[in-house]
Amino acid sequence: MSLGPPSRRAIFGFGVYVHVPFCARRCDYCSFATWTDRGHLMGAYLAALRVEVDRAVQAGMPVATSVFFGGGTPSLVPADDLMAVLDGVPRAPWAEVTVECNPDTVSLDLLRCYRDHGVSRISLGVQSMVPHVLASLGRTHDPANVRRAVQMVEAVGFSSWNLDLIYGGAGESLADWERTVVEALALEPPHVSAYALTVEAGTPLAADPARHPDDDDQADKYIVADALLSDGGLRSYEISNWARPDHECHHNLLYWDQGDYLGFGCAAHSHQSGRRWWNVRTPERYLALVTAGRSAEGGYEELDAEAQRVEGLQLSLRTGRGVPAEALAGEERDLDGLVAVAGDRLVLTREGRLLANEVATRLR
């Protein structure tokens, strides 16, 4: 008997993350392992990814239920070469496969290549639909490119796709943010991720305090986003993620459920049964190690059973599943209005999501 895809609300089995560290331009807020001057390494890097994946397969890597190509800008590298990496990953017939794309790099040929090799989901880095806000974030695309990219994604036949948004950029008014969300909703996305801008050490944003976001302003913008997205038919299933029914991101659900996954490429992280490890950060070191037949692992940590339990509650609290009621027993008075009862579990309210870190400190 053939088993079809499980419910998207199930706990998923095994994930694969592939890191692509190349970008045309580095955004002012970005602290990820990405480079704008390593394009000459693309061919060797993609070949090394295939080698690393093949070694994992030979070592008994499980069949993947989700694959996520992130970066960086995966859509910047040749589509055929990127898909050759995907072809080496054993995966379930119904596996979710996501590729992050910059709207500037999307083309019909690229998307068709992705689709033909089994990609099922596209994530577009939009951030804002207001030109002066995009400029303040160091982004290069314009809103017209976003609309064009969405049209191509739909024309090629992708039924599931995401728009990534960021709020709190310098010079972004509440009206600017509302415009971004409204214009994003007009594109009828099945999924939207909206993240508060954060200041990361070593970035141009960190070096310019005048551009640092304001917490109260970001709280107001979160409330606007949640109200508009909810009214638009997208349900909040994690603090920063909203989806139409059956369009939640499998791969993210696996992370939030403490599932096992393997990461490939420089700086990629992996997890198995409480052990986390990560590859060396730079593409040069990664290439040297893989080419020499050595592990690219750069470090690791192991969580004991109690640390895993607490982390599991913290992650689950962020989601629509919430936590068992006993995990917050005795805290009801202080958490009034921040959590709501859902059967035998407690879930964050809209106001609670704004204070999720504070609520998390009360977990038992």
pLDDT digits (tens, 9 = 90+) for 124-154: 999 999 999 999 988 877 899 999 999 999 9
Question: What letter represents residue 306's amino acid?
Answer: E
Residue 105 lies in a domain: yes
Residue 213 lies in a domain: yes
Residue 125 lies in a domain: yes
DSSP string over 83-108: HHHHHTS-EEEEEEEEEEE-GGG--H
Residue 265 lies in a domain: no
Question: What letter represents residue 232's amino acid?
Answer: G
Total structural domains in the chain? 1
How large is the average pLDDT for residues 64-73? 97
Question: What letter represents residue 84's amino acid?
Answer: A
Query: For 265-290, what is each residue's pLDDT tens digit?
Result: 999 999 999 999 999 999 999 999 99
Residue 345 lies in a domain: no
Alpha-carbon distance of 128 to 26, in angstroms, equals 16
Residue 273 lies in a domain: no
Alpha-carbon distance of 200 to 216, in angstroms, equals 19
How large is the average pLDDT for residues 87-116? 97
pLDDT at 361 over 80: yes
pLDDT at 32 over 70: yes
Q: Determine the pLDDT at residue 140.
A: 77
Higher pLDDT, 10 or 238: 238
Domain interval for residue 231: 14-256
Query: For 212-241, what is each residue's pLDDT tens digit?
Result: 999 999 999 999 999 999 999 999 999 999
The confidence band for 201, taking pLDDT boundaries of 50, 70 and 90, is very high
Phi, then psi, of 353 in degrees rounded to 5: -65, -30
∠186-192-194 over CA atoms, to 5°?
110
E strand or H helix at 196, and its extent?
strand 191-196
How many other CB atoms are found less than 10 A from the CB of residue 288?
Answer: 14
Residue 284 lies in a domain: no
Residue 3 lies in a domain: no
Measure Cα distances from 161 to 74, 119, 122, 125, 358 in Å.
Answer: 15, 11, 5, 11, 32
The confidence band for 164, taking pLDDT boundaries of 50, 70 and 90, is very high
pLDDT at 21 over 50: yes
Alpha-carbon distance of 142 to 185, in angstroms, equals 17
pTM over 0.75: yes
The CATH number of the domain where 152 resides is what?
Answer: 3.20.20.70
How large is the average pLDDT for residues 60-88? 97
The confidence band for 295, taking pLDDT boundaries of 50, 70 and 90, is very high
